[in-house]
Chain A
Amino acid sequence: MAQYYPGTSKVSENRRHFADPEQDLEKLREISDEDIVKILGHRAPGEDYKSVHPPLDEMDEPEDIVREIVTPIDGAKAGDRVRYIQFADSMYFAPAQPYVRARSYMNRYRGIDTGTLSGRQVIERRERDLEKLSKELLETEFFDPARTGIRGKSVHGHSLRLDEDGIMFDMLRRQLMNKETGHVEMVKDQIGIPLDEPIDLGEPLDEEKLKDITTIYRVDGDAYKDDKDAVEVLHKIHVTRSQGGYCPE
């Protein structure tokens, strides 16, 4: 059996929940395909996918056993460009966080390249596959309109105090609270270019729900030191890594 994450706490259980591709993620909101394309900002809705090489069927590829074993994803078959989506997760009980995202992406999706940076996580994939993946990431538990930012650039804010209405700081102000409806709306695409019409991302999750699904250990939530199993495994990794590192033979 695959071992995704050690620990007995709720947070560790949630980390396993995200990382295990066998477990279905709860769908929390509905965002249309067209809105996803607008948020990503890589092409105009309805526009054809640009390609960087001819479709694989038309290409004369060299004989290679790996090419036969691995089924290419749709975008690769069609020769799409590689495009990205990037998220910043607030440390105030955001549902996901960069390392959990990295582990989950690797376990759940094919044909991706993901990178963990300080406070943000980028994922790259062929364009048409990226759109499908983005839809899943935005509609499910991975995303909270207030605590998770869709930020292609200018990601600063994950460790800052939240605004009074629970929105994470964003210097480009892409996700804003609509004071009339109480919903968060996306007024700019992920790199900050204004959209013609705001995109409704739905209501922010309430604090209890967030604490229930979060994957972040916090002293005012589930403290890491209280999760004895997780600490023990970390300790073991630390010791063996140090010893092995000092004597690689």
Chain B
Amino acid sequence: MDIEIFPYRIIGADTTEKLLNGIESLDDVKRTVIHGPRLPPDVPDLNPKYKDRREITVKGKPIELKIRVGRIFVELTSESAIKEVEKICDDVLPFGYDINTSRTEYIRKHKTVSDAIKYGVGEDNLPDELIGMTDQTRQLAENLDYIDYDEVE
């Protein structure tokens, strides 16, 4: 099942890092999608004290955070994990949040015509676990970070 975490504020890099590490540490979490407005491109002469764009580390893997996170979609293997997600959110999001479960899926699970055009059909086809993980208008590699749990301790 999918859930949507909807924080009452748009969260920055530090909180996103904590939240993602918390969520990814749960066994019942299968996939996570972060969603929100894009951060402005890196301006080299902007004073670092104002900067929001930085690299975050999730389960030891460095990921360049390109957006300000407004929603987090999480695919869970069991409903009981929602309580654990709530516990993490209570710690990390003191300004409040909603966990929405009303939709059957927040992360798309069906292949579309666009997927077929973009990623091809047959052997080159998009693997099932990557469907819905990417923005249709962008290249897959630009906004997907894949953490291989066989390599994570």
Interface residues of A (CB under 8 A from B): 160-166, 169, 173, 176-180, 185, 187, 198
CB distance from A192 to the nearest CB of B (A): 12
Contact of A161 among B8, B12, B40 (CB under 8 A): B8
* Residues of chain A lying within 8 A (CB to CB) of residue B9: 161-164, 166
Closest to A172 in B: B40
B66 contacts partner chain A, Cβ-Cβ < 8 Å:
no
Contact of A173 among B37, B40, B70 (CB under 8 A): B40
* Residues of chain B lying within 8 A (CB to CB) of residue A164: 9-12, 15, 95
Closest to B13 in A: A164
Closest to A180 in B: B49
* Residues of chain A lying within 8 A (CB to CB) of residue B68: 163
Which residue, of B8, B15, B37, B50, has the highest number of chain A Cβ atoms within 10 A? Answer: B50
Cα distance A177–B49 in the bound complex, in angstroms: 8
Cα distance A173–B51 in the bound complex, in angstroms: 11
* Residues of chain B lying within 8 A (CB to CB) of residue A179: 49-50
Cα distance A178–B8 in the bound complex, in angstroms: 22
A187 adjacent to B50 (CB under 8 Å): yes
Cα distance A160–B36 in the bound complex, in angstroms: 12
Enumerate the 4 nearest inter-chain pairs by beta-carbon distance, A residue then B residue, closest first.
A176-B50, A164-B12, A164-B11, A164-B9
Contact of B70 among A161, A177, A198 (CB under 8 A): A161
Closest to A178 in B: B49
B10 adjacent to A163 (CB under 8 Å): yes
Cα distance A161–B68 in the bound complex, in angstroms: 11
Cα distance A160–B49 in the bound complex, in angstroms: 24
Cα distance A97–B120 in the bound complex, in angstroms: 52
Cα distance A161–B37 in the bound complex, in angstroms: 11
* Residues of chain A lying within 8 A (CB to CB) of residue B11: 164
Cα distance A160–B70 in the bound complex, in angstroms: 11
B10 adjacent to A169 (CB under 8 Å): yes
CB distance from B35 to the nearest CB of A (A): 13
User: What string of 1s and 0s marks CB contacts (under 8 Å) between B2-40 and chain A?
Assistant: 000001111110010000000000000000000001001
Contact of A163 among B12, B49, B50 (CB under 8 A): B12
* Residues of chain A lying within 8 A (CB to CB) of residue B49: 178-180
B10 adjacent to A162 (CB under 8 Å): yes
B:34-87 near A, CB below 8 Å: 37, 40, 47, 49-50, 68, 70
Cα distance A179–B50 in the bound complex, in angstroms: 7
Cα distance A164–B37 in the bound complex, in angstroms: 14
* Residues of chain B lying within 8 A (CB to CB) of residue A162: 9-10
* Residues of chain A lying within 8 A (CB to CB) of residue B37: 169
Cα distance A96–B112 in the bound complex, in angstroms: 48
Question: Can you give 6 A-B contacts (C-beta < 8 A)?
Answer: A161-B9, A162-B10, A163-B68, A169-B37, A173-B40, A173-B50
Which residue, of A161, A163, A178, A185, has the highest number of chain B Cβ atoms within 10 A? Answer: A161
Cα distance A120–B10 in the bound complex, in angstroms: 22
* Residues of chain B lying within 8 A (CB to CB) of residue A180: 49
